[in-house]
Amino acid sequence: MDLQTLTYIVVGITFTLYIGIAFWARAGSTSEFYVAGGGIHPVANGMATAADWMSAASFISMAGLIAFFGYGGSVFLMGWTGGYVLLAMLLAPYLRKYGKFTVPEFIGDRYYSRAARIVAVICLIVASVTYVIGQMKGIGVAFSRFLQVGYETGLLVGMGIVFVYAVMGGMKGITYTQIAQYCVLILAYTIPAIFISLHLTGNPIPQLGLGSTLSGTDTFLLDRLDQVVTELGFAEYTTSKRLSTLNTFVYTLSLMIGTAGLPHVIIRFFTVTKVSDARKSAGWALVFITILYTTAPAVAAMARLNLHQTIEPAPGEYLSYEARPQWFKNWEVTGLLQFEDKNGDGKILYTANAETNEMVKVDRDIMVLANPEIARLPNWVIALVAAGGLAAALSTAAGLLLAISSAISHDLLKGVFMPDIDEKQELMASRVAMAGAIALAGYLGFNPPDFAAGTVALAFGLAASSIFPVLMMGIFTKSINKEGAISGMVAGITVTLLYVFQHTGIMFVASTSYLGDMSPNWFFGIEPNAFGAVGALVNFVVAFAVSKVTAPPPDHIQHMVEDIRIPAGAGDATGH
Amino acid sequence: MTDNNSDMRRAYWQANVKLMLVLLVIWFVISYVCGILFVDALNSIRIGGYKLGFWFAQQGSMYGFVAIIFFYSHRMAALDRKFGVND
Segment A268-287 shows an average pLDDT of 87
Torsion of CA A63, A448, A18, A27, to 10 degrees: 130
User: Which of A84, A282, A566 lies at the smallest CB-CB distance from B85?
Assistant: A566
For A243-253, write each residue's pLDDT tens digit: 789 999 999 99
Catalogue the E-assigned strands of A42-118. none
**What's the pLDDT at A571?**
65
> Which of B25, B73, B76, B81 has the most A C-beta neighbours within 10 Å, making it the best mutation to test the interface with A?
B73
Cα torsion for A87, A120, A179, A196, to the nearest 10°? Answer: -70
Are B27 and A248 a contacting pair at CB < 8 A?
no
pLDDT at A27: 59
A-B CB pairs within 8 A amount to: 146
Give whole-number Cα distances, A269 to A167, A174, A433, A523, B74, in Å.
21, 14, 23, 36, 17
Averaged pLDDT, A403-422: 83
Contact A389, A147 (CB under 8 A): no
Please name the residues between 511 and 570 in chain A that touch chain B, using a CB distance below 8 Å: 562-563, 565-570
At A452 the pLDDT is 47
Per-residue model confidence (pLDDT) at position A449? 46
User: How many other C-beta atoms are found inside a 10 Å radius of the C-beta of residue A444?
Assistant: 18
Q: Is the pLDDT of residue B2 over 60?
A: no
Q: Rounded CA gap, A200 and A308, in Å?
A: 14
- pLDDT of res. A21: 81
Burial (Cβ within 10 Å: 0-12, 13-18, ≥19) of residue B24: middle
Name chain B contacts of A245, Cβ cutoff 8 Å: 36-37
**Cα distance between residue A509 and residue B54, in whole Å:** 37
CA–CA distance, B55 with A330 (Å, rounded to integer): 34
Residue A272 — φ and ψ, nearest 5°? -100, 165
Q: Can you give the pLDDT at residue A557?
A: 93
With b for 16 or more beta-carbon neighbours within 10 A and e for fewer, the A534-570 pattern comes to bbbbbbbebbeebbeeeeebeeebeebbeebbbbbeb
3-state class (DSSP) for residue A530? helix
Q: Which amino acid, one-letter code, is at A143?
A: F
Q: Is A163 helix (H, G, I), strand (E, B) or coil?
A: helix
Q: Chain A partners of B32 at a C-beta cutoff of 8 Å?
A: 249, 252-253
The radius of gyration of chain B from alpha carbons, rounded to an integer in Å, stands at: 18
Per-residue confidence (pLDDT) for residue A232, from 0 to 100: 85
Average pLDDT of span A317-329: 84
Q: Average pLDDT in the A82-110 region?
A: 90
Whether pLDDT at A94 is above 80: yes
pLDDT digits (tens, 9 = 90+) for A326-385: 888 877 776 677 888 888 888 888 888 888 888 887 777 777 777 888 777 888 888 888
Percentage above 90 pLDDT, chain A: 31
Task: Give bridge partners of residue A272 from the DSSP assignment.
Answer: A40
**Cross-strand pairs, A337:** A362
Select from A483, A484, A491 the least CA-distant residue to A544: A484
The predicted structure's pLDDT at residue A87: 92
CA A526, CA A344: separation in Å to the nearest integer?
42
Q: Which chain B residues touch A71 with a CB distance below 8 Å?
A: 39, 54, 57-58
Q: Is the pLDDT confidence value at A576 over 50? A: no
Q: Is the predicted ipTM greater than 0.85, yes or no?
A: yes
Name the DSSP class of A112: T
Give residue-wise pLDDT tens across range A114-171: 999 999 999 998 888 888 877 777 777 777 767 767 777 878 888 887 777 677 666 5
Return the number of other C-beta atoms located less than 10 Å from residue B18's C-beta: 10
Mean pLDDT of chain B: 91
Give the pLDDT band (50/70/90) at residue B1: very low
Which amino acid, residue A72?
Answer: G
Which of A215, A252, A566 best tests the B interface by mutation, with the highest count of B CBs <10 A? A566
Per-residue pLDDT averaged across A204-219, rounded? 92
Please state which of the ranges A388-392, A405-409, A516-520 shows the lowest mean pLDDT. Answer: A516-520
pLDDT score, position A504? 62
Rounded to the nearest integer, the mean pLDDT of chain A is 83
**CA A209 to CA A56: how far, in whole Å?**
25
Q: At A395, which amino acid appears? A: S
What's the pLDDT at B8?
Answer: 86
Q: What is the pLDDT of residue A572?
A: 59
Q: Classify B46 as helix, strand or coil.
A: strand
Average pLDDT of A213-238? 90
From chain B, the residues in CB contact with A221 under 8 A are 49
Shortest distance, CA B3 to any CA of chain A (angstroms): 11
Residue B78 distance to chain A (closest CA, Å): 10
Smallest Cβ distance to B36: which of A90, A248, A287? A248
Q: Do A141 and A129 touch, CB atoms closer than 8 A?
A: no
Give the DSSP letter string of A275-288. HHHHHHHHHHHHHH
Q: What is the mean pLDDT of residues A86-92?
A: 93
Say which DSSP state A447 is in: S
In a mutagenesis test of the A interface, which of B21, B25, B43, B62 is the best target, namely the one with the most A β-carbons within 10 Å?
B62
Quote the pLDDT of residue A450.
42
Q: Of A245, A129, A252, A261, nearest to A530 (Cα)?
A: A252
Q: Is the per-residue pLDDT at A278 higher than 50?
A: yes
